[in-house]
Structure formats: structure tokens, C-alpha cells
Amino acid sequence: MTDIQTWVNASSFASAGIAIGFGAIGAAIGEGYAASQAAVAIGSRPEQSGDILKLMLVGQAVAESASIFALVVAMLLLFTPQSPHLINVSVCLAAGICMGFGAMGSGIGSGFPAAAACVGTARQPAAGGRLMTNMLVGSAVCQTPAIFSLVIAFILLFTDFSDRPLSPTWAAILGAGISTGLAAIGPGIGGGLVAKASCEGVARHPANAAPVTNLMLLGQAVTQTTAIYGLLISFILIFRVFPETETLSRPMALLASGICMGLGAFGPGVGEGFAGMAAVDWLSRNIRAAGELTRTMLVGQAVAESTGIYSLVIALIMIFVF
């Protein structure tokens, strides 16, 4: 039987692979989509190619930051030595899963506003500066779920769990990683959809840039609430000390709570993103309907959030009741 240090090393190397492997998917898709729309834009208006290229490169740089977070976590997993306790097998795996999946959504999402900004500059060359600002703001807010994953991955890697009992804590750690990791995918994509609509809206009517940007920020903020639920469940799972248990059902309950919140955040994130996208899009077309649009968007997003709240409640019951 190989000793514990070998298991920990094996787990950390495998997790580094998972982290960068999944983390590379999202940013590549997003940047590719941005480049494709930039090519279309240059094709339709070749004399704007300088501005369009600049917008594309800046937007791609912001989309890249999610996979840079994944690279940082993978490097840490490769090069920082982990102490030889069996719990660290679970810690490395959780950190890898958390950052790997967390970078996916934000990478895809940040590609959308970059693409819309490129197409928008071709339509309306005079709005270039405002489009750059709007795209940067939208993409930066869209990176928030990836930042949450990074925070959890760092907390997992740098906290010493060796004084806690192995038996339910391995599942709590793994659940914490899965919770934030999976929960970041949907809100990342949703936030990107809203930012895309706002870039299109600013290109359509540059004079209405301020209310469009404000509604975009509001829509993105509501879309990210399910990622915050995932973050909350992860915090509870990491920082609550669970008493030792011999059964299998207790660890499975903790793992299941992480899976439940992680998966349950995907649908509401994407759905609220669709709602925000339509609201921002039609705000730019019809600025006088601002009040009704904001209200309808908030109400619709709140109802779409309900299954996310069910998942949160089930996850909390699994942690605290069993």
C-alpha cells in the first residue's frame, strides 16, 4: 500500500490537470466567438479594421483572465507542497474542480460582449469609445463568478484541515469545491448575455448609453445571485466543523448538498441572463418604457430564481438537519 504523501501528490497533479483542462474550455470558446464576430464586422466595413481589432483584443484579454485564474490554481497545485494528510487528497481535488468549472462560464460569458462590441463598431463607428467602456464594464462584472471560484480554491488550498476528523470532512471539502465550481457556470453565461445586449444597445443608440449601462449592471447583479448561493454553501461547508461519523450517509449528505447547489444554480443563471438580455435590448430601442421594463425584468428574474432557492433550501437542510 503506497504511503499517504504519494496519494496526496497524485491527487494534486490530477487536480491541476482538471483545473486547467476545464478552465481552458470556456475562455477559448468565448474568445473564438469574439474573433468570429470581429471577422464578420471587418468584412462588412474594412476601413474600421483598426478599431475593430483593438476592441477584439481588449475583449479577449478580459475573457482570458478567467483561464489565467485557472492557470494560477494549477500552478499552485503543481508546485506548493501539501502536507501528508489523507484529507489533502480531497482538498486538491476540490480546488481543481472548483476553479476548473468556475472558469468555464465566465470565459464563455465574457466573449459575448466583445463580439457585440466589434459588430457594433462596424455599425456605428462614432460610438467606439463608449462601446469600449461598456464592453469593459460588462465583461469585468461577468468575471465575478470566476473570482468566487478563485476565492474558494485559495481558501481550500491554504487552510489547514489536518485537525478535523477525516470522515465527514472529506465530503464537506469536495462538496464545497463542487458547489462554487458548478454554480459559477450558469451566472457567468447569463451575465455575458446581458452584457452582449447592452453593447448592441449602445451601438444602436449611443445617446442612451447611461440608462442601458445601468440596467445592464442591475440585470447582471441579479443573475449572479445563484453563484452567490453556491459561494455561501461552500463557506458553510468549509468553515463548519463537523463531528466525526462512522456512517456513509452523513458524508453523502454533505456531498449531495454541494452537488445540489452547484447544479441548481445553472438554470436560473442562464434564464435570468436571457431575461436581462431582452430587457436591456428593448430598453435601447424604447427608452421611454424604462420603468416597465425594469420592473418586468426584476419580477421575471425573481420567479426564475425560485428553483435556485429550492436548491439552496435543500442544500441547507442536508447540511444542518442530517
Partner 1 sequence: MGELGKIHQILIHLGGYTATLNLETMIMTWIVLTCLIVFGFMTARKRALKPGPLQVVGELLVANLYTLTEDAMGKELARKYSPMISALFLFLLLSNWIGLIPVCEEPTKDLNTTLSMGTMVFVVSHYAGIRAKGLKAYLKGYFDPIFFMAPLNIIGELAKVVSISFRLFGNIMGGSIIVLVITHLCYSLILPPLLNAFFGLFAGTIQAFVFTMLSIVYISVMVN
Partner 2 sequence: MAIEGADLVKAAAFLGAGIAMGLGAIGPGVGEGITASKACEAIGRNPAEAGLITRTMLVGQAVAESTGIYSLVIALLLMFVVV
Contact residues for partner 2, defined by CB under 8 A: 167, 186, 190, 246-249, 251-253, 255-275, 277-279, 281-283, 285-286, 288-289, 292-293, 295-297, 299-301, 303-308, 310-311, 314-315, 317-318, 321-322
| Using rule CB under 8 A, residue 19 touches partner 1 | no
Residue 144 contact partner, candidates partner 1, partner 2, none, CB within 5 to 8 A by sort of partner: partner 1
CA 266 from chain centre, in angstroms, equals 10
Residue 90 vs 143, nearer CB to partner 1: 143
Number of residues that bind partner 1 (CB under 8 A): 37
Angle 141-275-25 from CA coordinates, rounded to 5°: 50
| Using rule CB under 8 A, residue 158 touches partner 1 | yes
Residue 239 contact partner, candidates partner 1, partner 2, none, CB within 5 to 8 A by sort of partner: none
| Using rule CB under 8 A, residue 161 touches partner 1 | no
Binding string, 272-291, against partner 1, x = CB under 8 A?
Answer: --------------------
The backbone region for 245, taken as left when phi is positive above 0, alpha when psi lies in -120 to 50, beta otherwise, is beta
User: E-assigned strands of the chain?
Assistant: none
CA 193 from chain centre, in angstroms, equals 13
Residue 195 contact partner, candidates partner 1, partner 2, none, CB within 5 to 8 A by sort of partner: none
Which residue, among 215, 176, 207, 202, has the nearest Cα to 319 in the 3D structure? 176
Report how far apart, in Å, the C-alpha atoms of 297 and of each of 44, 55, 184, 235, 256 are: 34, 29, 21, 30, 32
| Using rule CB under 8 A, residue 8 touches partner 1 | no
Q: What is the dihedral of CA 294, 295, 296, 298, to 10 degrees?
A: 80
Member of 305, 311, 315, 318 binding partner 1 (CB under 8 A): 305
Residue 72 contact partner, candidates partner 2, partner 1, none, CB within 5 to 8 A by sort of partner: partner 1
Which residue, among 274, 284, 275, 126, has the nearest Cα to 199 in the 3D structure? 284
| Using rule CB under 8 A, residue 302 touches partner 1 | yes
Binding positions for partner 1, 194-223, rule CB under 8 A: 210-211, 214, 217-218, 221
Quote the cell numbers at residue 103.
472558469
Member of 24, 52, 74, 76 binding partner 1 (CB under 8 A): 76
Residue 111 vs 251, nearer CB to partner 2: 251
Supply the Cα-derived Rg of the chain in whole angstroms.
Answer: 21
Distance CA(251)–CA(248), nearest Å, equals 6
Residue 313 vs 317, nearer CB to partner 1: 313
| Using rule CB under 8 A, residue 232 touches partner 1 | yes
Member of 6, 44, 80, 83 binding partner 1 (CB under 8 A): 80
Angle 171-182-295 from CA coordinates, rounded to 5°: 130
Residue 84 vs 211, nearer CB to partner 1: 211
| Using rule CB under 8 A, residue 37 touches partner 1 | no
Q: What is the dihedral of CA 6, 161, 256, 168, to 10 degrees?
A: 90
CB distance 187 to 226 below 8 Å? yes
Residue 50 vs 288, nearer CB to partner 2: 288
Distance CA(74)–CA(35), nearest Å, equals 27
Q: Which residues bind partner 1 (CB under 8 A)?
A: 69, 72, 75-76, 80, 136-137, 140-141, 144, 147-148, 150-151, 154, 158-159, 210-211, 214, 217-218, 221, 224-225, 228-229, 231-232, 294, 298, 302, 305-306, 309, 312-313
